Amino acid sequence: MVSARTARRRAIPLAVLLTAAAANSASADAADDRRALVMLRVLAYDTHLADRIGDEVRFVVVYGDGEDGAAEARRWTTAFGNVRKIKVAGHTVVVTAVKFESPAALTRTLSGLRAAALLSCDGLGKSIAAPALASITRARRVLSFATREGDVVKGLAVGIVRGDDRDEIVVNLTAIAAEGVKFDAGLLQLARSVKEAR
C-alpha cells in the first residue's frame, strides 16, 4: 500500500513532466521522449505492479502492417531507449516491438514475455480494433497505453494525449481494474477519467 505522502512525492515529478510538454513543440522527438517517460512514470503508480512482473519490467510496443507501422514502432522504441536509464519499481525496463499478426499470436507473446504494459501504436487500429485489443490486455493483465483518447474510450486503459495546452493523462477506470492495475490516488488526481463506450 502506498502512503498519501509517497503519492504526493510521486505526483510532483509527473506533474512537472506534463507541464513541460506545454513548452515542448521544439521537436517531435522530444515530445515522444517525454510521452515515453510519462508512460513509465504512470506504470510506476501501479500498486499491483509487483504481482505482474519478474526481474524486469517488460513494455511491449505493438504495431500494425506496412512501413508506416514499422516506422512508428522504431519511433517509439527510440523514445523509450532515450529514457532507458529510468527504473520502474526498482527494476530495469525492457522494451520490445511486436508486429501484430493475430490475437492468438499477440496473446502468446504477452504471456511469454510476461509483459507488464503495452503501447498500441496509432496505426494498429487498422489491424485490430481497440475493444479486441482490450480483451487481450484484460485477459493477460497487461496495462494498455494509447496516444489517442478514442482508443481509451473504446477500452484501453491509459492515454497520453495532446491537450489544448499540454499533454494529458486520460484514464478508463473500468479498463484499469479489468487489467489488474490499481493506481494510487496521486496519479488519479492528475488524470482525466473517461467512460468506456458500450
Taking the C-alpha atoms of residue 32 and residue 189, their distance in angstroms, rounded to an integer, is 23
Residue 198 lies in a domain: no
Q: Closest Cα partner for 94 from 116, 122, 120?
A: 116
pLDDT tens-digit readout, 127-136:
999 999 999 9
pLDDT tens-digit readout, 139-169:
999 999 999 999 999 999 999 998 777 889 9
> 165 is in which domain, residue-wise?
4-192
Residue 36 lies in a domain: yes
Residue 90 lies in a domain: yes
Q: What is the pTM of this model?
A: 0.85
Residue 106 lies in a domain: yes
Which comes out higher in pLDDT, residue 66 or 84?
66
Domain count, the chain: 1
Provide the 10 A C-beta neighbour count for residue 101: 12
Residue 165 lies in a domain: yes
CATH of the domain at 11: 3.40.50.2300
Residue 33 lies in a domain: yes
Residue 124 lies in a domain: yes
- Cα dihedral 138/98/183/20 (nearest 10): -150
For residues 139 and 112, is the Cβ–Cβ distance under 8 A? no
pLDDT tens-digit readout, 34-65:
899 999 999 999 999 988 888 899 999 999 98
